[in-house]
Amino acid sequence: MKVFHYVNFVFIFLFIIAICVLEDVAVNNSLNQVKRDCYEIEQVLATSENINSMEMSLLVDNLEYNWTNNESTLCYMVNHKSIQEIGTEISKMKSYVGNNDIDALKVSISSIKYYADNYLHFMGANVHNIL
């Protein structure tokens, strides 16, 4: 009878570890996708003097679309208010592209990358989450 309890304990422990690993993979993929989108925008920004273009608008829209999809997944794992800064910066970026404000766009991109890097540190699997 005790063997059954030990088997259940091991099964539950392994199940919790699997969930934490899946959470870590989802968080890493989501935030790395945001960072890749920011790098694409930076590459176009480095070669263009006029950001009020269709290409830049599509890149920002792609960033917004990817973040919206990823944010809905991340909201299951963390409080939505903890990750809303990226969405706010993306909204600002859309107006900066329309106004051709290159300096403000660069600041928003660096802010988004900063938030994504910091979120990678406090989200995901760790021993505290498992216990």
What are the sequence ranges of the domains in the chain? 29-123
In this prediction, residue 20 has a pLDDT band, given cuts at 50, 70 and 90, of confident
At residue 52, φ and ψ (nearest 5 deg) are -85, 70
Checking if the pLDDT of 122 tops 90, the result is no
> Residue 37 pLDDT more than 90?
yes
Query: Residue 79 pLDDT > 70, yes or no?
Result: no
Neighbours of 49 (CB within 10 A): 7
**Three-state secondary structure readout of 114-128:** HHHHHHHHHCCCCHH
Mean pLDDT of the chain: 84
Q: Which two tokens stand for residue 66?
A: 């990817």
**Residue 38 CB neighbour total at 10 angstroms:** 23
Q: The domain at 29-123 falls in which architecture? A: Up-down Bundle (1.20)
